[in-house]
A and B are shown apart, each in its own frame.
Chain A
């Protein structure tokens, strides 16, 4: 009897909660209702300009950590983010700035990122800098970074030094216009899901 009452109550509740209110929760992303300020950081953008936390002010941003010599996951994710930005603009909404932070500054120079990042979208921003400075961000955001050598036969020592892969988090971080972490998108990254959740989270503020 109690079960029947509970079931009836649940069914009734579904009708009583207005549809818009029910739709205000992100479906796949994590929304931080108490956004967390990012630490101060000082990096270089792919145009060679200093880029710090202050440069995040005034825009929603999506941060993604990766490296240019990543042939599989990084281009797939950046291509997805390009479709996300287009999809949001198509709905007449202001898209986020997409910021690609290198976790491989030894190989990812400013010049390299200047060639790499705008390939996906001319508005995307690439950041690099001293590894210790990048770590200020990765540590705070819980981005795992691990270097792993790639075996190569018949190559010299110099090639071996250049030949490594970087294990890295594929998480996307949504930063609000005050430089605070407001949302987390975990893989797998599905264009439509990111668009929907982005609009829901940014619509709250």
Chain B
């Protein structure tokens, strides 16, 4: 019985590893911008289910003039937001993009996006296919 359970466990592990679409994005959302703000932030979790490291090299969207990968860091109570060129994610690792940390900065929206809208983002990786996703806009206030 125990052998069967172990076998089942190992088999399910194998199936999980062999799953296509080995880079996945989840929990993605865009913070609704207050009126007049021309910079928005998107947050998500990127899972690298591959056995090799991946690198997020950029993000594009028809809904914004440009999208940049940014990181907010705190130094002695001072928040600094800087563009980071790319984001590496190790094999089997996940990278969370959260408020107050790494995020996607969405620059100059082409329309006023409000809670309930959704926006298409395309994640570009080095040596891996693009990953397109629809990201809901949510109010957080």
Contacts and interface: CB of A to CB of B under 8 A. Distances in A.
Interface residues of B, number: 31
Nearest to B39: A71
B116 interface: no
17 contacts: A68-B36, A69-B38, A70-B39, A71-B41, A71-B103, A73-B72, A79-B140, A119-B141, A120-B34, A144-B77, A146-B78, A152-B107, A169-B79, A170-B77, A170-B79, A187-B74, A187-B77
B81 A68 contact: no
B28 to A, nearest CB: 15
B141 A73 contact: no
B41 A72 contact: yes
Across the A-B interface, the 10 shortest Cβ-Cβ residue pairs = A119-B34, A115-B35, A115-B36, A71-B41, A71-B39, A73-B79, A167-B80, A79-B141, A116-B34, A69-B39
Interface in B75-90: 76-83
A167 B78 contact: yes
Instruction: Determine chain B's interface SS by DSSP, over half rule.
Output: strand
Interface of B: 31, 33-41, 66, 68, 70, 72, 74, 76-83, 99-100, 103, 105-107, 140-141
Interface in A138-194: 144, 146, 148, 150-153, 163, 165, 167-171, 186-188
A111 B35 CA distance: 11
Contacts of B77: 144, 169-171, 186-187
A163 to B, nearest CB: 8
Contacts of B39: 69-71
B141 A75 contact: yes
A84 to B, nearest CB: 12
In which size bucket is the chain A interface? 35 or more
Q: Counting chain A CB atoms within 10 Å of each CB, which of B40, B66, B70, B81 scores highest?
A: B81
Contact of A72 (B34, B76, B78, B99): B99
B36 A170 contact: no
A47 interface: no
A169 B76 CA distance: 8
A187 B81 CA distance: 15
A35 to B, nearest CB: 20
B37 to A, nearest CB: 5
B66 A76 contact: no
A69 to B, nearest CB: 5
B74 to A, nearest CB: 6
B31 A71 contact: yes
Contacts of B70: 72
A201 interface: no
B37 A150 contact: no
A78 interface: yes
A120 B139 CA distance: 10
B74 A72 contact: no
A72 B141 contact: no
A75 B35 contact: no
A73 B64 CA distance: 20
Contacts of B74: 170, 187
